Structure 1
Amino acid sequence: MHRLLALLLLLVVISGPVAAGTVYKCRGADGQLSYQDAPCAKTQQQQALQLPDDQAAPSPPANAPSEPADTLPVTGEAPVSSPTPVVPLTQLYRCMHAVDGSAYVSSNGHPQPFLAPLGMLGALPTSLSQAYGQPGGAGISAPEANRGRVTSGLVASNYVWVQDLCRPLSVPEICHALRDELEQNTRKLQRAFKSDRPPLQRRDDELRAQLANC
């Protein structure tokens, strides 16, 4: 067996690359072996051997144009998701109404002064019902009724300039106020008619963009 393989190898080396095909192993009457690509003589024992195709693919000529590499068909660029715009936090203020003392949140830390009846500010011991309801008080419009007299009702009926007091909120307080407003705006958006939704939707987008900083 080893001798057979050696002879095959010798045949391949001498003859160069061999194409796939049949090689005939011939044994004579004297026992001598030979290999050939034609059938053996009638006086010889014959055995056909199949050679594998070991030839490499022929190399293209040096001046042949190179084939372009396979490329995938371009069907369009993948959509790029736009990042959510980040809007800087707006400075908010907690203000106290100058008349009734109610608290509210505003983006204006310096609200405009306004006129308010002095009797509504609690600066006088006389209540509004007394000041405006007692005889000779602010509820009497006849000039002669109060002529020469300065009463609490007369003072209470005068207007004075007042202004709400405000203080800036810290970042955690601003975030808390924005979340509260977003919750209220979302409820309005859910209940609103289709024609009333655009401004609510814009405000929703603004609030969410600012809350990205929280």
Structure 2
Amino acid sequence: MLLVYVLLFAWANVPAPAVADTTTVYKCVAANGSVIYQGTPCAHGQREQTMQLQDDGPVSSPLPTPVDDTPRMATTPPPAPAKPPSMPPAPMYRCIRATDNKPYVSSNGNPQPYYAPLAMTGIVPTPIGQNYGGRVSPNAAMIASHYTLMQDTCQPMTPQDTCTTLRDEYDENEKKLSRTFKSDQPPLLQRESELLAQLQQC
């Protein structure tokens, strides 16, 4: 401990080099001989010695990265393009044939009326030619008197039923294509294209 005091006392008598940043240390000796080192001047009645210590300053660090303080406009990602609404498939109708009550599917909800023999309706049990023993050919008057105007009834199908029906028709068309000679395929290929276009809306 005495050696430390001696060294500090010796450093106090050595002129400190002129430096830009220094710290003053005060050595204060009280009346009872106790020694105190502090950074402020000694109290009244104490012997005072000073020593200048060089301040090494903060540890050097790499140059800071320049900060771009230019105000920037807040950027938001562009909105995603709106998905086009899916269009329902073209309406289809489930119809009942007036002559025999058999169901069929049609794209026309109001099919044209047609003439049918009364024999097909159950009103006349035999065809026209048989009524005359097959000896005469039916003429306009005979047809007018033995035929009646018929009208099929149709109901619109739901989009789900329409898509199911289109898929069934497509499968049936593909089966026919696989069993048909190449020369007979053009109408089936045309129908295949039509069905694929309609199924894109399902």
Scaled to the shorter chain, the TM-score interval is 0.3 to 0.5
Normalised by the length of structure 1, the TM-score is 0.43
Give the greater-gyration-radius structure (CA): 2
Normalised by the length of structure 2, the TM-score is 0.45
